[in-house]
Amino acid sequence: MKQHWRREEPQFFNAFALPWETGVGPALTHDAESRLVSRDGENGSATFMLRIPPGWRHTARADEGSAEIFVLEGDLAAEGRSVGCTGFVAVPQGCGQVELSSQGGCQALLWWNTTLPVQHCYDGGQLQVRKIWQEPWTASVMPGLQPGILHKSLRTPDPHGGLMHGGPGGMIRLIMMAPGFGETRQEVHHDCWEEMLWLAGDFLMPQRGLHAAGSVLSNPPELKHGPLLTVKGNIQILHCNAPMGADFHFVDGGPQIQEAFQDGGSWLTETHHTDWAELPYLHIGKAGSPELEYAP
């Protein structure tokens, strides 16, 4: 049976519609409510949404895995250093005991990673507490990729600008896609699995659906996915488990779907997570087919 959290399968679902649970995941989640977004069946690495209550305290021992936390609302402190909305805390595996707390409570994304090569990230595995809103945007440049995407790096270091993006353990980025961005080809990542969670705006990917705040998309290696289209622009979190490269392939129907979507869009209506079968572009060329395809 298909399960939304399986990283080895293509996924498209609304994470904001998942039920809150208790007592699942690493010790960090046990005194909070969580939603399981994805999990690696081989090594136990996972992505969660967290709902942390006011007055919460936890001693992170960082002995079984690395915790990377992005605050969606509220406050979170590590060793007394507090961040709010768009704050980021990284507790790399082996960095020692770290006291985490929240005065007023918060909601956040948690990436729990049992295989992150900490000797190559976060200054050799040091605790990180950062206010991402203070940091500058960087152009996301990859040969062959249309311009119109900016990012802020959460996981560091984060090489960019060439054929491969991200460090040895992959990357976590806050992404901003410009209004009207359109890439009508499909892309393929050969060496990494990727997941994206949308925070705002709109995004259309044929064969998957219309993305809005809360939408999660994940792509196993070699899965063809695209085109990549937006009317109003969007904000998303991109996460992958290895350095990311991309090949781009023309797909029949891509330009036609772009024209129909862009011309038929609206700046006046709210975007909602919508499955591909519910949209009016089904069967416009091969891009509109409901069947997913892997690269040979």
Number of domains in the chain: 2
pLDDT at residue 142, rounded to an integer: 86
From 105, 134, 163, give the residue that closes a domain: 134
pLDDT at residue 296, rounded to an integer: 87
Q: Indicate if the pLDDT at residue 271 is higher than 80.
A: yes
Give the confidence band of 88 by pLDDT, cuts at 50, 70, 90: very high
**Whether residue 171 is found in the same domain as residue 122:** no
Q: What is the mean pLDDT of residues 197-207?
A: 98
Instruction: Flag whether 188 is in a domain.
Output: yes
Q: What is the mean pLDDT of residues 160-167?
A: 90
**Whether residue 77 is found in the same domain as residue 21:** yes
Q: What is the mean pLDDT of residues 153-175?
A: 94
Cβ–Cβ < 8 Å for 69, 98:
no
Give the confidence band of 144 by pLDDT, cuts at 50, 70, 90: confident
Q: Kind of pairing, strands 149-153 and 81-83?
A: unpaired
**Whether residue 120 is found in the same domain as residue 160:** no
Give the confidence band of 2 by pLDDT, cuts at 50, 70, 90: confident
**Whether residue 231 is found in the same domain as residue 264:** yes
Q: Indicate if the pLDDT at residue 146 is higher than 90.
A: no
Residues 6 or more apart in contact with residue 259 via CB below 8 angstroms: none
Instruction: Flag whether 218 is in a domain.
Output: yes
**Whether residue 85 is found in the same domain as residue 158:** no
**Whether residue 154 is found in the same domain as residue 243:** yes
Instruction: Flag whether 88 is in a domain.
Output: yes
pLDDT at residue 163, rounded to an integer: 86
Q: Which two tokens stand for residue 187?
A: 């892309």
**Whether residue 116 is found in the same domain as residue 213:** no
Q: Indicate if the pLDDT at residue 1 is higher than 60.
A: no
Whole-number average pLDDT of the chain? 96
Q: Which two tokens stand for residue 69?
A: 């936390």
Q: Note down the domain range covering 117.
A: 11-134
Q: From CA 172, how far away is CA 183, in angstroms rounded? A: 22
Give the confidence band of 62 by pLDDT, cuts at 50, 70, 90: confident
Q: Which two tokens stand for residue 167?
A: 């460090």
**Whether residue 273 is found in the same domain as residue 234:** yes
pLDDT at residue 285, rounded to an integer: 96
Q: Which amino acid is at 188?
A: V
**Whether residue 124 is found in the same domain as residue 187:** no
Q: What is the mean pLDDT of residues 10-31?
A: 94
Q: Which amino acid is at 65?
A: G
Q: From CA 213, how far away is CA 219, in angstroms rounded? A: 18
Full DSSP string of 97-131: -EEEEESS-EEEEEEEESS--GGGSHHHH--EEEE
**Whether residue 76 is found in the same domain as residue 212:** no
Of all residues in the chain, the percent with pLDDT exceeding 90 is 93
**Whether residue 143 is found in the same domain as residue 204:** yes
pTM for this structure? 0.97
**Whether residue 118 is found in the same domain as residue 165:** no
Q: What is the mean pLDDT of residues 107-121?
A: 95
Q: From CA 112, how far away is CA 90, in angstroms rounded? A: 10
From 106, 134, 162, give the residue that closes a domain: 134
Q: What is the mean pLDDT of residues 246-271?
A: 97
Question: What share of residues in the chain are helix, strand, coil (percent, to 5)?
Answer: 10, 40, 50
From 134, 165, 188, give the residue that closes a domain: 134
Nearest CA-CA partner of 208 in 219, 197, 220: 219
CATH number at residue 284: 2.60.120.10
